[in-house]
Chain A
Amino acid sequence: MWYLGALVVAVVLNFLLPRLVPGNPVDVIVSSMGSGGVSSGARQKIYEAYMQEFGLNQPLWQQFFSYLGNALHGNLGESFSYYPAPVSGLIGFALPWTLALQIPAILIGWIIGNVIGAIAAYKGGGWDKSVFTGALFLSSMPYYCLSILLLYGLAVGLKWFPVGGSYSLGLSPELTWSFLGDASHYYWLPFLSLVVINIGTQATGMRAMSIYELGSDYVNYSRSLGIGDAKMTRYIFGNAMLPQITGLALSLGTMVGGALVTELVFNYQGMGTLLFNAISSSDYPVIQAVTLIITLAVLLANYVVEVLYGFIDPRIRAAKTGES
Chain B
Amino acid sequence: MSDTLAPAPDQPKAAGRSALRSLNFTPRFWVSIVLIVLVALFAFVGDMLYPYGSNQRVGSLFDEPTPQHILGTDNFGYDVVALLMASTRNSLYNGLLAGTIATFLGVFIGILAGYIGGWFEEFLMGVTNIVLAIPAIVVLILISVSIQGTNLQFLKGIIGMSLVIGFTSWPWTARSVRAQASSVATREHIDVAKLSGARTFGILLRDVLPYLASYVVMAWVLQVASAILAESTLSMLGLGPSGTASLGVELHWALAFNAVANRAWWAFLPPTAVLTIISFALLYLQSSLDEVFNPRLRRGKKKNLAKAAERRAEAARRLAAEIEAEVAP
Contact = CB atoms under 8 A, between A and B. Distances in A.
Contacts of B129: 2, 5-6
Given A136-B284, A291-B138, A141 B297 contact: no
A291 B261 contact: no
A144 B283 contact: no
B269 interface: yes
Nearest to A208: B297
Nearest to B261: A163
A144 B130 contact: no
A140 B126 contact: no
B16 interface: no
B133 A298 contact: yes
A151 interface: yes
B186 interface: no
A148 B268 contact: yes
A136 B280 contact: yes
Interface string A121-144: 000110011000000110111101
A216 to B, nearest CB: 9
B134 A10 contact: yes
Nearest to B281: A140
B67 interface: no
B150 A140 contact: no
Given A6-B130, A22-B150, A148-B272, A287 B141 contact: yes
B149 A22 contact: yes
A246 B251 CA distance: 33
Contacts of B280: 136-137, 140-141
Interface stretch (A48-56, A80-88, A236-244, A259-267): A259-267
Contact of A20 (B131, B134, B146, B284): B146
Which of B149, B150, B236 has the most C-beta atoms of chain A within 10 angstroms of its own C-beta?
B149
A195 to B, nearest CB: 18
A213 B59 CA distance: 59
User: Dominant SS at the A interface?
Assistant: helix
B118 interface: no
Interface in B142-180: 142-143, 145-146, 148-151
B54 interface: no
Interface string A1-45: 011011001100110011011110000000000000000000000
A194 to B, nearest CB: 15
B215 interface: no
A272 to B, nearest CB: 8
Given A140-B279, A142-B276, A148-B251, A261 B237 contact: yes
B132 to A, nearest CB: 8
A18 B133 contact: no
B263 interface: yes
Q: Report the contact-size class of chain A (Cβ under 8 Å from the partner).
A: 35 or more
Contact of B275 (A129, A142, A294): A142
Contacts of A294: 135, 137-138
A282 B297 contact: no
Nearest to B299: A124
Interface stretch (A167-175, A219-227, A273-281, A310-318): A273-281
B321 interface: no
Contacts of A13: 134, 139, 142
A164 interface: yes
B236 A164 contact: no
A209 to B, nearest CB: 11
Contacts of A193: none
Interface of B: 126, 129-135, 137-139, 141-143, 145-146, 148-151, 225, 229, 232-233, 236-239, 251, 255, 260-261, 263, 265, 268-269, 272, 275-276, 279-280, 282-284, 287, 296-297, 299-300
Given A22-B150, A272-B237, 8 more contacts: A3-B133, A5-B126, A6-B130, A17-B145, A152-B265, A265-B255, A295-B134, A298-B134
11 contacts: A2-B133, A6-B132, A21-B145, A22-B151, A144-B251, A163-B261, A257-B137, A257-B138, A276-B238, A287-B142, A298-B133
* 9 A-B pairs with the lowest CB-CB distances in the bound complex, closest first: A21-B149, A6-B133, A140-B283, A2-B129, A17-B142, A291-B138, A17-B146, A6-B130, A145-B272
Interface of A: 2-3, 5-6, 9-10, 13-14, 17-18, 20-23, 124-125, 128-129, 136-137, 139-142, 144-145, 148-149, 151-152, 156, 163-164, 208, 211-212, 215, 254, 257, 260-261, 264-265, 272, 275-276, 279-280, 282, 284, 287, 291, 294-295, 298-299, 302
